[in-house]
Amino acid sequence: MENTNRTKILTECALLIALGTILAQVKIYELPQGGSVTAASMVPFMIISFRHGPLWGLGCGFINAIFQMLLGGVYPTPAGTALAMVLQVLLDYLVPFSQIGIADIFARLLGKGKASSHMVAAFMVGLLRFFCHFVSGFVVWGSITQDGISAVIYSLSYNGGFMLPETVINVAAVGLLYRSAPLLFGKDGF
C-alpha cells in the first residue's frame, strides 16, 4: 500500500509540475531584465504543499526552479564573478521558487481548512519570493540602475513591478480554487 501511495503522490507532483511549467510560459507581461507576471504559475506548487506537506512542496519547487532556469535563461550578471553568478542562481531561482513549497506551513499556522488561510499562505510565499528577488536586485544586479536611483529603491520598484501583480493573481487563484474545489487542497482530493 505504501508504494501505491508514493506512486500516486509522485504522479500528482509530476502533473502539477508540468502544469506549473506551462502556466509559467503564459506570460501576461515580462520585464526586460527578467521577471514576469504569469497565469497563476505558483498555484500548482502550493497545491502540492497543501496536499502533501512542505517537504514534497520544497522538492517540487526545486524542480520548478531548475525548469525556470532552463526555460527562462540565466542572464549574465553585471559583476561577472563566480560569486555573483552563485548568488544569482540562489536568489533569483533556487530559493524563491523552491520556497513556494512551504505554503502549507503558513496554512497550518492559520488554521488549515479555510479559504482565507490558504490565501494568506499564498500571499506569504509571494512575499518571500519577492524578498529573494529584491535582495538579488541590489546585491547581484545593483549596478543596473537608472537616473541615479539607489540600487535598493530600483530593486524595490523593479521587482515589485512584477511580484505584486504575480502575488495578487496567485492569491486570487488560490481563493477561487478553494471555494470551487476545496477537495484539491486535501490529501484525498484527486
Task: Report helix, strand or coil for 180.
Answer: helix
pLDDT in tens, 164-186: 999 999 999 999 999 999 999 98
pLDDT in tens, 43-101: 999 999 999 999 999 999 999 999 999 997 777 777 778 898 899 999 999 999 999 99
Residue 190 falls within a domain, yes or no?
Answer: no
Residue 62 falls within a domain, yes or no?
Answer: yes
Number of compact structural domains in the chain: 1
Q: Cβ contacts of residue 91 below 8 Å, gap of 6+?
A: 132, 133, 135, 136, 139, 140
Residue 171 falls within a domain, yes or no?
Answer: yes
Residue 93 falls within a domain, yes or no?
Answer: yes
What CATH number is associated with residue 31? 1.10.1760.20
Question: How many Å apart are CA 172 and CA 175, to the nearest integer?
Answer: 5
DSSP string, 122-138: HHHHHHHHHHHHHHHHH
Domain containing residue 35: 2-185
Residue 52 falls within a domain, yes or no?
Answer: yes
For the entire predicted model, the pTM comes to: 0.92
Report the share of the chain in percent with pLDDT over 90. 73
Alpha-helical runs (H) found in the chain: 2-25, 43-52, 54-72, 82-88, 95-98, 103-109, 115-139, 151-180
Torsion of CA 82, 83, 87, 88, to 10 degrees: -30
Residue 84 falls within a domain, yes or no?
Answer: yes
Across 109-122, average pLDDT: 93
The CA distances from residue 175 to 53, 168, 184, in Å, are 19, 11, 12
Question: How many Å apart are CA 170 and CA 149, to the nearest integer?
Answer: 30
Torsion of CA 131, 31, 91, 150, to 10 degrees: -60
pLDDT number for residue 188: 64
Residue 112 falls within a domain, yes or no?
Answer: yes
Residue 144 has pLDDT above 80, yes or no: no
Q: Cβ contacts of residue 117 below 8 Å, gap of 6+?
A: 106, 107, 110, 111
Residue 33 falls within a domain, yes or no?
Answer: yes
